[in-house]
Structure 1
Amino acid sequence: MHLYTYDGSFEGLLTVVFEAYERKAWPTSIEQEQLAQPSMFGDTVRVVTDENKAGRVWQGLQRKLTATALESLYYTYLWEQTGFEQLVFDYARLAFDFNGSIEGNYTTPCVLQVQQVHKQVHREKHRMEAFVRFQKTADGLFYAVISPDFNVLPLIIRHFQKRYADQRWAIYDTRRRYGAYYDLVSTSFINLEAQAMAPTRYGVLTEDRYDAEEAKYQQLWQVYFDHVNVPERKNSKLHLRHIPKRYWKYLSEKQPRHLQK
């Protein structure tokens, strides 16, 4: 039995693949260092992220997989559900060891699961792009908080860079405690709690940090929503299918006075 630990990065996980092949010791479990429990049986291999080794693994996968399959593998890493590291490893190992394409081999559990994971993460990405709502802060920054089921923040950056290229904005993932900040030129990842500019705990702004006019804009949007809503055409089941309740917290039109209706 071989437990591999790594730093939690995608490059670190690819380094695990490299080390396993170099040692010819296949992992029975892969865990992040800060979460790993000491193993009473078998060996524990602590893997230090090596960008060169990770790059060689990724280049090898590029020769074996299509761009869609590579995207699916990365989405599986962002999925973050129990066992995702082992799933990434099993898929990569199958790709390296199989002569030919593995992408349509749905009788193999890891291939089918990676495809299913891709759909789940892609759906969450699409919903975040649709439901994120920015609020203007006192210093002119447009700020939004999210807490998606999966780690889709890296996937939605390009969408908001294109859509809001002429304004500074930041999106903060309160569940994972990191964010993305766009300064009109480029986007960088940030950790607000580690900076003096931290607005408050877990990246949630207090009311005094918002622009004085922001509350009025929120009220105007709610009034607009009320006026365009046609009660006679209400279809609650269809509405919930397109906008599940767990996303309502992001939407101005779904604040308490609407939830009570």
Structure 2
Amino acid sequence: MQTIYYDGTFEGFLTLLYRYVHQQIPIDEIIIKNSRLHSSELDLFSFQISTEIETAKKYYKYLSSKLPKEVFRKIYLYYLCDSAEIEDALMRVLRQSYENPSIWYTLDLDIVKLNNAERMFRREKHRWLGFLRFTELPNKVLFAKFEPKFNVLPKLWFHFVKRLPNEKIIIFDSLRKLLFANSGKYSRLLWADGFEVEISSEIDTFITLWQRYFKDIAIPERLSYERQRNRLPLRFRRFLSEFT
């Protein structure tokens, strides 16, 4: 088995699809890894694909002419489902769809895998709409840090900009090193390797207020850690003010 890494960008994802779908390179003996989620330790059995911007643009345009519109709109969504590792399933379906476009509407095992990843992505996005916590930094910027299971930030930021139109906002996905910044007038999504912000209750007194509120409303006699974990999994808690 050979491990194939791509750089985690959408252009890198499209370059990968072009190489192994359009150019018909065999995919049965490869494992695909997103280097944003997995460290790329290259050896004799691994290979890093170089992202080709122009190739990605041309292939994206090609897909728009070949795929049904509702399917083409999901290509970017499948890219965002990065931790589901559905790249190989998508490749197989794309290959077959050139000859049999109706495969997208069947119960083929790869289609089922893609549909399941899409549902999990939408659930993860919905959860973070409620769980994302902002802290006010000394420069009056609202800052939020999180590590979602999927790459939901590109589909998440607009909700908060719409709700807080007059605020300066930074949202940082520390797992993928992906950052969204909004100045109030301009918005930008960018890769930010090395970016870190330390948060403490001394910076934002609302952290202490959240913790006190959370403690005061609790009913010790009815405390159930099992139910609490079911409703609020542990992976979310280190990013919530009331649990830190």
Settle same-fold status: TM greater than 0.5: yes
Q: Please give the alpha-carbon distance, in whole angstroms, between the structure 2 residues aligned to 1:165 and 1:146.
A: 21
Q: Deviations over 1:200-249 (max 9, x none)?
A: xxx141549x64xx22x223233434455556776655543332222122
Q: Deviations over 1:29-78 (max 9, x none)?
A: 3456872644469xx79554133x333433444442343x4454433322
User: Contact 2:42–2:48 (CA<8 Å) still a contact in 1?
Assistant: no
Q: Please give the alpha-carbon distance, in whole angstroms, between the structure 1 residues aligned to 2:92 and 2:170.
A: 36
Change (3 A) 1:95 1:157: farther
Letter of the aligned partner of 2:231 in structure 1? Answer: H
Letter of the aligned partner of 1:122 in structure 2? Answer: R
For the pair 1:35 / 2:1, whether they are aligned, the reply is no
Residue pairs, 1:201-240, within 5 angstroms:
203-207=196-200, 211=203, 214-215=204-205, 217-229=206-218, 237-240=226-229
Question: Larger % of helix: which?
Answer: 1
More divergent stretch after superposition (56-65 vs 240-249)? 56-65
Unaligned runs of 5+ in 2: none
Q: Please give the alpha-carbon distance, in whole angstroms, between the structure 1 residues aligned to 2:191 and 2:142.
A: 17
User: Contact 2:21–2:94 (CA<8 Å) still a contact in 1?
Assistant: no
User: Contact 1:143–1:169 (CA<8 Å) still a contact in 2?
Assistant: yes
Q: Match for 1:244 among 204, 208, 233?
A: 233
Q: Please give the alpha-carbon distance, in whole angstroms, between the structure 1 residues aligned to 2:229 and 2:4.
A: 42
Letter of the aligned partner of 1:35 in structure 2? Answer: S
Which residue of 1 is the match for residue 144 of structure 2? 144
Q: Deviations over 1:60-114 (max 9, x none)?
A: 44442343x445443332233374332332232233231x4323312x2211100
Which residue of 2 is the match for residue 84 of structure 1? 86
Which residue of 1 is the match for residue 112 of structure 2? 112
User: Contact 2:11–2:51 (CA<8 Å) still a contact in 1?
Assistant: no
Equivalent position SS for 1:155: helix
Change (3 A) 1:135 1:101: same
Q: Over alpha carbons, which structure has the higher Rg?
A: 1
Q: How many residues align?
A: 238
Which residue of 2 is the match for residue 182 of structure 1? 182
Change (3 A) 1:187 1:111: same
Q: Please give the alpha-carbon distance, in whole angstroms, between the structure 2 residues aligned to 1:45 and 1:171.
A: 29
Q: Please give the alpha-carbon distance, in whole angstroms, between the structure 2 residues aligned to 1:142 and 1:188.
A: 15
Which residue of 2 is the match for residue 259 of structure 1? none
Question: What is the TM-score when the length of structure 2 is the normalising length?
Answer: 0.78
Q: Please give the alpha-carbon distance, in whole angstroms, between the structure 2 residues aligned to 1:92 and 1:11.
A: 17
Q: What RMSD, in angstroms, separates the aligned Cα atoms of the two structures?
A: 3.4
Equivalent position SS for 1:130: helix
Equivalent position SS for 2:229: helix
User: Contact 2:63–2:72 (CA<8 Å) still a contact in 1?
Assistant: yes
Letter of the aligned partner of 1:253 in structure 2? Answer: E
Which residue of 2 is the match for residue 258 of structure 1? none
Q: Please give the alpha-carbon distance, in whole angstroms, between the structure 2 residues aligned to 1:245 and 1:21.
A: 39
Change (3 A) 1:96 1:149: same
Equivalent position SS for 2:189: strand
Letter of the aligned partner of 2:40 in structure 1? Answer: L
Q: Please give the alpha-carbon distance, in whole angstroms, between the structure 1 residues aligned to 2:51 and 2:15.
A: 8
